[in-house]
Amino acid sequence: MTLTITAQTISITSIEQLNELSGENVKLCMQCATCTGMCPMTAEMDLSPRTVMHLVQFGMLDRLGASNTCWKCASCHACTVKCPRGIDIAKVMEALRQHVLRTNKNYIEPSALPAERIAELPQIAIVAAFRKLTS
């Protein structure tokens, strides 16, 4: 993936917003990619956890909001326990979900699910898909 970084694409406000939402300091990331190596869900993600952290460091929330990565994150914390910089990446993923939900967008739209699919799925799975750990 090619990234074009200019003074216009960097949003200090967004970086601070993500830090506040997650309680983490995303600037500490040194792009070692240990998180990607540990993640069991990377095959399903369009951006790896390392790439997400890279975009977060530039405050590129619009690009991240269009990615499926934070929704595919299983909140397993495998990345978190191995990050050499002590960053809780699962919390950053949760903050990204919160950011999207605050724009009143759902990754899965309830009205788009067929009734027969809703009937066969466990209710808790449906709720988790809408909100995951995000409150």
How would you label 89-120 residue by residue, b for 16+ Cβ within 10 Å and e otherwise?
A: bbbbbbbbbbbbbeeeeeeeeeeeeeeeeeee
CB of 132 to ligand SF4, least distance (A): 10
Q: Is 77 an interacting residue with respect to ligand SF4 (CB under 6 A)? A: yes
Q: What part of residues 80-109 is at the interface with ligand SF4 (CB under 6 A)?
A: 83-85, 87, 89-90, 93
Binding string to ligand SF4 for residues 21 to 50, with x set by CB under 6 A, is what?
Answer: --------xxxxxxx--xx-x-------xx
If DSSP states are collapsed to H, E and C, what string results for 14-58? HHHHHHHHHCCCHHHCCCCCHHHHHCCCHHHCCCCHHHHHHHHHC
| Contact of 51 with 81, CB cutoff 8 Å | no
Binding residue (CB under 6 A) for ligand SF4 from 3, 5, 10, 74: 74
CB of 116 to ligand SF4, least distance (A): 29
Residues found near ligand SF4 in the complex (CB under 6 A):
29-35, 38-39, 41, 49-50, 53, 73-79, 83-85, 87, 89-90, 93
